[in-house]
Structure 1
Amino acid sequence: MQRLALRSRLRAGCEEIYDREHATIPAELERAMRENGVHSWRIWRDGLDLFHVVEVDDYAALQAAMKDHPADQAWQARMNRLLDGDFDKDSGGLTLVWEMA
C-alpha cells in the first residue's frame, strides 16, 4: 500500500464552499475510489492551502482508472472551480522527509 501527501490551493473566498462541498462526497465517487484501491483520503485545510493524505494500493493505477470515470469527471469539474491552479494529483506527491513511526 502507498501513502502519499498531495497539496492544492483554494481561490480566495472559496473556503466555506469547499468545506461544505466536502461534508459528503457523491456515493458513486466514493464507491469508484474504493473499488480502485483507495483505503483512505484525508484533507486538511490551512487558510487556502489544502493538504491531502491518501492511502491507496497503487496511486498510478487509481489515476488511470479514474481518469475517464463519469463520477470523477463531475467531481473534478465541481472542485476545479474552487481551486487556484491545477490540483497536483499527477505529481506523485510530496517528498517524505521525516517520519516518527
Structure 2
Amino acid sequence: MRIALHTKLKPGAEADYEAAHRAVPTELVAAIRRAGATSWTIWRSGTDLFHVIDCTAYDRLLTELSTLPANIAWQHRMDEYLATAHDYSADGSSATLPVMWDLETASE
C-alpha cells in the first residue's frame, strides 16, 4: 500500500530538519523496515513536507513504531521542527492525502 502525507515545518527549522534526517538512528531505520515499510521518501518545498510511504499495512507500521523508544525519541525531536505534525492515528485517515489520479491504474 502507498500512503502520502503532508506536514509543515516551523519557519526557520529547515536546516535543522534536514540535518536531523542526514542522521536518522539506524535502530529506527531497521524498525521501520521490520514494521513493513519498503520505501519512505520525504520531499521539502519551503516549509511544506511531502511523504510517500510504501508499506505492507500502514496501521501495522504505526502500531509497531508507537511504543518503540527510538521512535518516541525521534518523534519528540521532530516536534521541535514541525508546525503541523503528522497525525499518527491508527487508521491515518485524518493525515493521509487522497489519491486523485495514478498512472499505474490509468487506462489508455
Range class of TM-score, shorter chain = over 0.9
Alpha-carbon distance in structure 2 between the residues aligned to 1:9 and 1:88: 12
Q: Is the aligned partner of 1:20 residue 2:23?
A: no
Who is 1:96 aligned against?
Answer: 99
Alpha-carbon distance in structure 2 between the residues aligned to 1:5 and 1:28: 24
Unaligned 5+ runs, structure 1: none
Normalised to the residue count of structure 1, the TM-score between the two structures is 0.93
Cα shift at 1:65: 1.0
Alpha-carbon distance in structure 1 between the residues aligned to 2:63 and 2:31: 12
The higher-RCO structure (CA 8 Å, 6+ apart) is: 1
Question: Max radius of gyration: which structure?
Answer: 2
Who is 1:60 aligned against?
Answer: 59
Count of paired positions: 100
Three-state SS of the structure 1 residue aligned to 2:103 is coil
Three-state SS of the structure 1 residue aligned to 2:59 is helix
Three-state SS of the structure 2 residue aligned to 1:84 is strand
Normalised to the residue count of structure 2, the TM-score between the two structures is 0.87
Report percent identity of matched pairs: 38
Q: How do 1:16-95 and structure 2 match up within 5 A?
A: 16-90=15-89, 91-92=92-93, 93-95=96-98
Unaligned 5+ runs, structure 2: none
